[in-house]
Structure 1
Amino acid sequence: MQTSRDRFLDVVRAGAILAVIAQHWVMPVLSYSDGHLATGNALATPGWWAITWGSQVMPLVFFAGGAANLISFRRAESPRTWLAARLKRLMLPVLPLLAVWLVMPDFLRGLGIPPQPVQVAGAIAAQLLWFLAVYVLVVLLTPPMVAAHRRWGLKVPLVMGVAGVLVDVARFNDLGYIGYANAIFVWVAVHQLGFHYVEGRLGSLTRRAALGLSAAGFGVTALMVAFGPYPASMIGMPGAPVSNMSPPTVLLAFLAVGQIGLLLAFRPQLNALAERPGAGHALDWLGARFMSVYLWHMPALVVVAGVTVYGLDYETPAPGTLFWLVMAPAWFAVCGLVLLGLLRLFAHFELQRDTAEVTAKVPQLVVAGLMISGGLLGLAAHGFAPLSDGIAHGPVPWVVLATAGFLLAGKQVPVIELLGRAVAVSERATVRR
């Protein structure tokens, strides 16, 4: 059982966010001509799907999140205070992103940038909010899932995995939309594995057992790709009929087992690395800004691509060529510098601690979480668009929904009474029509 700060989890989280950044910054294949920004994916290069078996690290994010959530949940005064703190801590760094990108599309259009590149920029800035939308739901489920973990142990992720398989079967038999149920089944299953690291056998595996677990996870993944309907790439590819990521397939749960086992096999070495003064300082710095780094690394890419591809008529080289290999370090360096500048502007939102008293009850917090999740999911699906194109059908309703959820996670309000009044007003408006 883990009782103090676990440096292994810090390494996993840091490695995961760095892998996410590297993947997103290496992927774009861009060119601009006649008002149109052409976009492609470097990882669609033949054979490069193998990279995604290591670079698709969302399973590790949910695993480390599960472990961290259980550790903090045990220390919390009550489930109510824990839920409120988690919701506010997750949403607070998002607020400046929402504020900036509400006005950014209109600002870019005002500079004379054509509509299509602005639309691409707004979509890129918002697309990563899908993770937060799902993660908030997982956080809402954490208190009952902790109870389930302590009662049924490994049966819980196993049942989730079986449910994920059944969802995939239905999905691949012309019931496509049911696949989105795996956003819960798959990610909650991986989140539960984090519980088993803290309060189960995963945290005490020998190297041989961990390597065996890894081999089993990657082996099943390979078999399902070879003989099943699953694509080899662990991320979505342009034009591909099926994506393992959107919505997630159960394949990602088996990939998670492979990745987790491999990291656990080298846990002593990773802990030793984390104990080095320089590495420890870097882990602390990154850990305190985890959400801000995640949220702003794609806007950093938008800035660099906008200046170079649109402004300077630069065309990214063909992936894998010598010129691409030569230019990649410079591309990463410039994106990194822009990201650091954005962090200096916006990371303090994440660094500040909210000391306001929480009076909201659990039902209100659940409603708040659902509002946050719904708002962020809407933004991820539709992107940020110019306000001049229309308020009602743009990002404003989604921003209002998510922000209202954030505010609702604090002071207690008569939610049921307010909902009743809203329904009554709606009914009166309908009658008048």
Structure 2
Amino acid sequence: MRDLVERIESATPGTRDRGIDGLRALAILGVVLGHWLVTALVADSGTVHGASPLRAFPQLAPVSWLFQTLAVFFLVGGIVAGRGRSAREPYGVWLRGRMARLSRPVVTVVLVWAVVAGATLASGVGLDTVRTLAKLVWSPLWFLAVLAVLTAATPLAARLAPAWPVAIVALVDLVRYGLGGPAWLGWVNVVAGWLVPYCVGLSWARGLPGRRTGWALLLGGAAVTAGLVLWAGYPAAMVGVPGAAVSNLDPPTLAAVTFGLAQCGASRLLLDPLRRALRRPAAWAAVAVANLSAITIFLWHQTAMIAVTALGLLADRPLPGLHTAPDSAAWVLARLAWLPVFGAALALCCTAFPSGSAARPSRQDAP
């Protein structure tokens, strides 16, 4: 382990912004823990269906504010895209390189799960169960699809002020919720909503703002989000809740966007402390490995949870926190105890489907 830490430290250029990698690692951790904590697979009468503890405990909605970190991903993506493209590098060459890094891991997980789904159906498992599991694995692919679209639009997005996509999201929400417009219009926000932190990141790639800007975004975004929840009827949960009439993420709402701006502000405030903390070789090694495995972690963390849940079915009875309904405090405590097991399964997935070498963290433009 010490040798690995030393190799990573020696392979890291002095010009690399370790704080940006630290932000990405925190975003990865938030997404993984968030999904593992708010997603339950309930075994009932030979079938498996999805559920969420937020349905039974709406008072836990503030927990989702800690783990819904997608805006940080798009913020970092914008910073990296803005810094990573050389003025001398042809746009087509740059874009093909970034799309290759995104697409190769996606092809692997889709092929593996196509085989798993087919084999599971052939073994007699019900279609509803297979659909529930496959949806958990494949639905996060929307994130990479949006990131690919925004990456391709980087030259145009770099000229766009974040206020414009914010206005589009606000207009779409007004038409949908205030004027009874069609629900499909909300899908405009899938691109416009995440374009906001991406544009912020592109702007910051040209020069980071001061801490005052960070505080303004954090406090202003948090205040507007609280107002939208308290007085405009937006959900308090920043993740999807099964059965809820409105979701802040599916598609993104104005509340999700203003919450994302607050996260951008928090990211700016965290950046300098992260840079100082990651001067320590051991801390930096952990972050470097997480960044080089970022796409693998994102694509396979739900598979890890599913694998543990499936193996648990070999027990004689449903296991608390794994197969039982998420409707009690006991379930929450039991699920917390399962997190290290999910983590071990995810480590095996990352070993089986590696996405890079931990000894060569030399590029800031990793996805």
| TM-score bucket (shorter structure) | 0.7 to 0.9
**1:128 maps to what in 2?**
140
Of 114-123 and 290-299, deviating more is 114-123
Deviation per CA, 1:79-112: give whole Å up to 9, x if none: 1111111111110111211221111112123444
1:119 paired to 2:131: yes
8 A Cα contact 1:31 1:316, kept in partner: no
1:311 positional shift: 5.6
Structure 1 Cα separation of the partners of residues 276 and 141 of structure 2: 34
State the match for 1:6 in structure 2. Answer: 17
**Aligned partners of 1:32 and 1:313 also within 8 Å:** no
Aligned-pair distance for 1:31? 2.9
Which residue is 2:215 aligned to?
A: 211
Cα distance in 1 between the residues matched to 2:316 and 2:215: 49
Partner of 2:299: 295
Aligned twin of 2:195? 188
Q: SS of the residue aligned with 1:282?
A: helix
Pick aligned residue for 2:118 from 89, 100, 106: 106
Structure-1 separation of matches of 2:26 and 2:62: 18
Deviation at 1:325, TM superposition (A): 5.1
Q: What is the identity, as a one-letter code, of the residue corresponding to 1:159?
A: W
Whole-Å Cα distance in 2 between the matches of residues 275 and 192 of structure 1?
A: 28
Deviation for aligned residue 1:185: 1.2
Q: Is 1:307 equivalent to 2:311 in the alignment?
A: yes
Cα offsets for 1:187-215 (capped at 9, x unmatched)? 11210000122214xx2313x44223311
The correspondence for 1:257, drawn from 242, 258, 261, is 261
Q: 1:138 to 1:71 in 2, by over 3 A?
A: same
Please, which moves more after superposition, 265-274 or 58-67? 265-274
Matches within 5 A, 1:31-430: 31-44=42-55, 45-74=57-86, 77-146=89-158, 148-149=159-160, 156-172=161-177, 173-200=180-207, 203-206=208-211, 208-309=212-313, 312-317=316-321, 319=326, 323-324=330-331, 326-348=333-355
Identity of aligned residues (%): 28
Say which SS state the counterpart of residue 39 (structure 1) adopts: strand
CA distance in 2, matches of 1:337, 1:283: 17
**TM-score in terms of structure 2 length:** 0.86
Gaps of 5+ in 2: 1-13, 359-367
1:30·1:316 contact (CA, 8 Å) conserved in 2? Answer: no
* Partner-residue secondary structure (3-state), 2:85: helix
**For 1:142 and 1:104, how far apart are their aligned partners in 2?**
36
TM-score, normalised relative to structure 1: 0.74
Which runs of no fewer than 5 residues in structure 1 stay unpaired? 150-155, 353-433
Matches of 1:38 and 1:160 in 2, distance apart? 36
After TM superposition, give the deviation of residue 275 of structure 1 in Å.
1.3
In the alignment, the residues of structure 1 paired with residue 234 and residue 292 of structure 2 have an alpha-carbon distance, to the nearest angstrom, of: 37
Distance 1:192 1:9, change over 3 A: same
CA 1:175–1:322: 2 relative to 1, 3 Å: closer
* C-alpha deviation, 1:231, in angstroms: 1.2
Q: Per the alignment, in what secondary structure is the counterpart of residue 151 of structure 2?
A: helix
Question: How big is the shift at 1:132?
Answer: 1.0
- Counterpart of 1:425 in structure 2 is none
Give the whole-Å Cα distance in 1 for the aligned partners of 2:231 and 2:314.
43
SS in 2 for 1:125: helix
CA contact (8 A) 1:289 1:347 kept: yes
Deviations 1:105-156 (A, max 9, x none): 121234443333222111211111111111111111112222x15xxxxxx2
Q: Distance in 2 between matches of 1:101 and 1:299?
A: 9
Question: Residues 162, 325 of structure 1: CA spacing in aligned structure 2 closer, same or farther, 3 A cutoff?
Answer: closer
RMSD in angstroms over aligned alpha carbons? Answer: 2.2
Q: Report which of the two has the higher share of helix.
A: 1
Deviations 1:39-78 (A, max 9, x none): 3102331211111222111111101110011111236611
- Using the TM superposition, give the Cα deviation of residue 313 of structure 1 relative to its aligned residue in structure 2, in angstroms: 3.4
Q: Is the 8 A contact 2:37 2:336 kept in 1?
A: no
In 1, Cα distance between the equivalents of 2:234 and 2:332? Answer: 30
- Can you list the C-alpha shifts for 1:351-393, whole angstroms capped at 9, x where unaligned? 59xxxxxxxxxxxxxxxxxxxxxxxxxxxxxxxxxxxxxxxxx
SS of residue in 1 equivalent to 2:43: strand
Q: Which amino acid aligns with 2:131?
A: Q
Deviation at 1:274, TM superposition (A): 1.4
Determine helix, strand or coil for the equivalent of 1:244. coil
Cα distance in 2 between the residues matched to 1:8 and 1:275: 10
Measured after TM superposition, the shift of residue 253 of structure 1 is: 2.0
Deviation of 1:8 after TM superposition, in Å, equals: 1.7
